[in-house]
Chain A
Amino acid sequence: MSEGAAGGAIDFGRTTRTVRSRRFSARVPVRIVAVSGGLVALAVVLGVVALGVGEYPVSPTEVVRAVTGGGEAFVRTVVLEWRLPIVLAAIVLGAALGIGGAIFQSLTRNPLGSPDVIGFDAGSYTAVVVAILALGARDYWTLAGAAALGGIATAVVVYLLSFRDGVQGFRLIIVGIGVSAMLGSVNSYLVTRADVGDAMAVGFWGAGSLSRVTWESMLPALAAFAGICVVSALLAPSLQRLELGDDLAVTHGTRVGAARLALIVVGVAATALVTAAAGPLGFVALVAPQLARRLTHSPGVSLLSAAAMGAALLMSAQLLTLVVAELYRTIPVGLITVCLGGTYLIWLLVRESRRHERTS
């Protein structure tokens, strides 16, 4: 199966290099790996800059010294204890959003079928609202658990409601919008009944922010992320085959039902991880796979480049919030992702409808 060597007169699609050892052989898509590597490098550089920004500014050289184990004790505390978990969260959660978005966009075969559009965020929000208002919970773990549970439950409901001889992308998205609208009205009912303090706590959670992240909350998230990476890497070939259509996927030896279910579970887990750790960070999952696809010139969505793009995007957004905090005031990073991502989505829709006109 290693027909696609680089170059040659015939275009075989993705440029690939074949890597072989005695027991192992794989085709590596060159451009995807290169672009992903570049994006990860960008995220790391932005992360180093972000480690230096804040009320106590630290220069990049001092940051590098602190990370490698040198420098003053106080600088090390600031950089390693306070800021590193947040920067790490931006990169890891961004990558998780990219993976979740890529999986769902691939499964629905629709660039707009991302978890936030389909309504998972609304479900998480409702669960957290109930946890804060009805159970009086404020601690991180209860809210994280509620967010994950609510998102997963909503995913199941949306999936079942849109099931009718299989799940069409179109129906899944509209059902998601409908379910989000219902949950949204339940949320506003609960919030308007609460006292102002509780209501604002809900509002702050719902705005989505990384500033609450600490090492204590980050370590389990890192472990979960590692698990998601491994499983999604194993499932990536099935995802690619499913994009060909169910019939072709079957002839390539994929167990379609099982593969799709496993992918949905991973996608929901990736999204729930983020919502649990930081609240809803809108539109990263939607935008990352699409930008990555354009950068890599690939026909479909690839998990690796989507994850790298998600990391770079969320890291940039987080750095932007730090800069805005310096100049103006602290704003939640979710606000930036929603504004930039939503604007990008609108632009994407305008562009695609224009193209549609030209071709029709």
Chain B
Amino acid sequence: MTTRTTVSAPPRTTPHGTRSRRRTLGLVAILGALLVAVLLSLALGTNPLSPGAVWTGLRAHDDSEASVLVWTLRIPRTVVGLAAGAAFGVAGALVQALTRNPLADPGILGVNAGAGFAVTLGVGLFGVTSAQGYVWFAFVGAALATLLVYAIGASSGGSISPITLVLAGVALAAVLDGVGTFLQLIDPETFTRLRRWGVGSINDTALTDTWQVLPFLAGGLVLALVLARALNDVALGDDLARSLGTNVARTRVLGIVAVTLLAGGGTALTGGIGFVGLMVPHLVRWFTGPDQRWVIAYSALAAAVLVLLADVLGRVVARPGEIEVGIVTALVGAPVLIMLVRRSRASGL
């Protein structure tokens, strides 16, 4: 079912296959960009390597400087970047589809804040130290925050205005951040451990921790792709979706589960990277049109590219130091948000 809905679906609505050609070209372009981004991520940093040196280092896997650099530093963060990027991108596409809100993003809606708050609790009260331990707290926090924001949206029967939902998320994030900051301030040890965590970095997670989280992200991704067709129907409105035979309630619940897995897992790995889930679906729709099957598949790839490139940019700009990827995406993404609302008509879905 998964493969059928993701890859081979023929375009139902477009004439003469122009959109299908555009989609295919776009897919080639994104895969090429992904390759370039991975190479850049392996090569660039405080100590840049030539592509040849990267290749020898990869092949050798020994004690040589290039090999150690590639295997212990660059590969782990590249893997985290790919996984977390895809997770936040798809989570953003899902949230936008579920809430039919062009301004939705796991960061803006407070889902990342929920996960972050739960992790602060875990570190401050239960002495958790590894990403493996973070992940469960992050899931619970993300799930509760998603449910809460979603309940606010659902209580209006799906007719909630984009701004109300955004504000609910902002209020939630403010409360959670306030309490989280307090917990950090009364305990300098928690403060030291977490003050870098919430910024959104893909550099601090060990590969072993990443493998632990990866199954959850994969599960969320598969679930999102399976749901894509039903989401297309939901986009037409609840009544029409029901008459097309889609179980709206089940789609919503499973959608929330997928968002929780993706945003919670991504936050556990990185501390939360904002605005990726906002920007990527908008960029991607330009190629794909409104079909969620394509939007979700494209978003996964494009968001991974974006996160890797943002991370590389953060490494290059502030040499010999680094700027965390979450800061780069916020600096790039907030103007995108402002641009979206400055357009005469907020982008519809």
Contact = CB atoms under 8 A, between A and B. Distances in A.
A342 B178 contact: yes
Interface size range of chain B in the complex: 35 or more
A178 B174 contact: no
Nearest to B198: A188
A179 B334 contact: yes
Given A349-B168, A353-B164, A338 B178 contact: yes
A282 interface: yes
Contact of A206 (B181, B334, B338): B181
Interface stretch (B60-68, B149-157, B296-304): B149-157
A175 B338 contact: yes
B331 A349 contact: no
A171 B341 contact: yes
Interface string B312-349: 00000000010110110011011101100110000000
18 contacts: A170-B163, A185-B330, A188-B199, A189-B199, A200-B191, A206-B181, A207-B181, A207-B185, A329-B186, A338-B175, A342-B178, A346-B172, A346-B175, A349-B171, A353-B153, A353-B160, A357-B156, A357-B157
B185 A204 contact: yes
Given A174-B103, A353-B153, A339 B335 contact: no
Contact of B338 (A178, A207, A339, A349): A178
A247 interface: no
A45 interface: no
Contact of A203 (B157, B175, B181): B181
A177 interface: yes
A5 B174 CA distance: 45
A331 B324 CA distance: 31
A12 B181 CA distance: 49
A112 interface: yes
A181 B185 contact: no
A354 interface: yes
B98 to A, nearest CB: 16
Nearest to B159: A360
Given A192-B196, A329-B186, A345-B168, 8 more contacts: A170-B341, A174-B166, A188-B198, A196-B192, A332-B182, A342-B174, A353-B164, A356-B156
Given A185-B326, A339-B178, A353 B338 contact: no
B155 A181 contact: no
Contact of A182 (B167, B185, B331): B331
A185 B334 CA distance: 10
A304 to B, nearest CB: 27
B152 to A, nearest CB: 5
Nearest to B170: A177
B188 interface: yes
B80 to A, nearest CB: 18
Q: Which of B168, B170, B172, B188 is most buried by chain A, counting CB atoms within 10 A of its CB? A: B170
A175 B185 CA distance: 30
Interface string A342-354: 1101100110111
A212 B151 CA distance: 40
Contacts of A189: 199, 323-324, 327
B179 interface: yes
B330 A182 contact: yes
A335 B178 contact: yes
A161 B339 CA distance: 9
Interface in A23-49: none
Contact of B195 (A117, A171, A199, A350): A199
B326 A178 contact: no
B182 to A, nearest CB: 5
Contacts of A174: 103, 163, 166, 337-338, 341
Given A164-B342, A192-B196, A349-B171, A185 B331 contact: yes
A117 B167 contact: yes
Contacts of A345: 167-168, 171
Contact of B156 (A188, A196, A206, A354): A354
Interface string A156-171: 0000011010000011
B335 A178 contact: yes
A334 B334 CA distance: 26
A329 B182 CA distance: 11
Nearest to A111: B167
Contacts of B164: 349, 352-353
A214 B275 CA distance: 42
Nearest to B174: A342
Contact of B334 (A181, A191, A338): A181
Contacts of B174: 282-283, 338, 342
Contacts of A231: none
